[in-house]
Structure 1
Amino acid sequence: MSRCPSVAAVVESLVKAAGRDYKAAGRVSDDVLQPLHIILGQSLMNALDLIDEKKVMKVVGSSGRWVYQVTGSTGTPYVCFPHSVFCQCMAFKFAVLKRRERPLCKHVLASRLATEMGEVEEKTVSDEYILDILANMD
């Protein structure tokens, strides 16, 4: 009996493929974009816009701990944790958690895609700065 992969596993595999495509050819192939769009819809386009606009930041503390800070389309910075689908945004709370309409929000998708594509800006900060970011999460 074969096991069907979860939607999250499929998305993760496609994100990695997008990164390989981008690093090899400077673009993501339609063979990767089409299934991502089918699964994620407009969130994919919104995430790609965030990457194009350089709104994905990897904030690294002096101890090496880090988080993503993704500035949304309204200018609000959202914290996304590495290796997690958590985000502070309302879309995460409602579309991901409550209604289960999608596996992740555009901010998490942007952070994952930007990382795989090598398009993440990195900012080194103090550990206190990271703690402040986390303490001020709503």
Structure 2
Amino acid sequence: MSRVPDVSAVVAGLLQVVEEQQKSSGTISPEVLRSLNLVHSHSLTNALDLIDGNKVTKVVSTSGRWVYQVIGSSGTPYVCFPHSVFCQCPAFKFSVLKKRESVICKHVLAARLATAMGVTEEKFVSNEYIVDVLTHLD
């Protein structure tokens, strides 16, 4: 019996290929973009727009803890965790959790793609800042 990989394994594999292609050629092949689009048809273009608009920041505290902060298209900042699909945005609650139309929202996808592409900006903050961000999650 053959095993069918779960979607998160496919996504992780695609992000690994994106990282390898970025390092070797500085571009992402059309084949990989098509594959990403198959998995993330609802959010890929929007995630790429967030990356192009420099809306993804890796917020790093003095202790080394970090989160992604992604500024949504409405200007609202969303916190995304490094190894989680959670996002505060309404699309996560509706499209990912409730309707199960998407695996991850555009904010998490943008954060992961920006990291794989090596274009994530870093902002260094105090430990208190990170604590404040985490205690105000909806």
TM interval, short-chain normalised: over 0.9
- Paired letter, 2:74: T
Question: Does the 8 A contact of 2:91 with 2:105 survive in 1?
Answer: yes
Cα distance, 1:20 vs structure 2: 1.5
Aligned to 1:102: 102
| Structure-1 residue corresponding to 2:15 | 15
How large is the RMSD of aligned CA atoms in angstroms? 0.9
Q: Structure 2: 5+ residue runs without aligned partners?
A: none
Give me the whole-angstrom Cα distance separating, in 2, the residues matched to 1:17 and 1:45.
18
- TM-score normalised according to structure 2 size: 0.96
TM-score normalised by structure 1 residue count: 0.96
- Residue type at the aligned position of 1:91: A
Change (3 A) 1:99 1:42: closer
Alignment deviations for residues 66-107 of structure 1 (CA, whole Å, 9 cap, x no partner): 100000111100000011000000110010011111110000
- Deviation >2 Å, runs of 4+: none
Aligned to 1:123: 123
Q: Which runs of 5+ in 1 are unaligned?
A: none
Identical amino acids, percent of aligned pairs? 62
Paired residue total: 138
Q: How far 1:38 sits from its partner (Å)?
A: 1.3
Contact 2:42–2:102 at 8 Å: present in 1 too? Answer: no
Q: Secondary structure at the match of 2:87?
A: coil
Secondary structure of the 1:94 match is helix
| Residues 55 and 72 in structure 2, CA contact (< 8 A), matched pair in contact too | yes
**Superimposed CA distance per residue, residues 13-32 of structure 1 (whole angstroms, 9 cap, x where no aligned partner):** 11111122122222110110
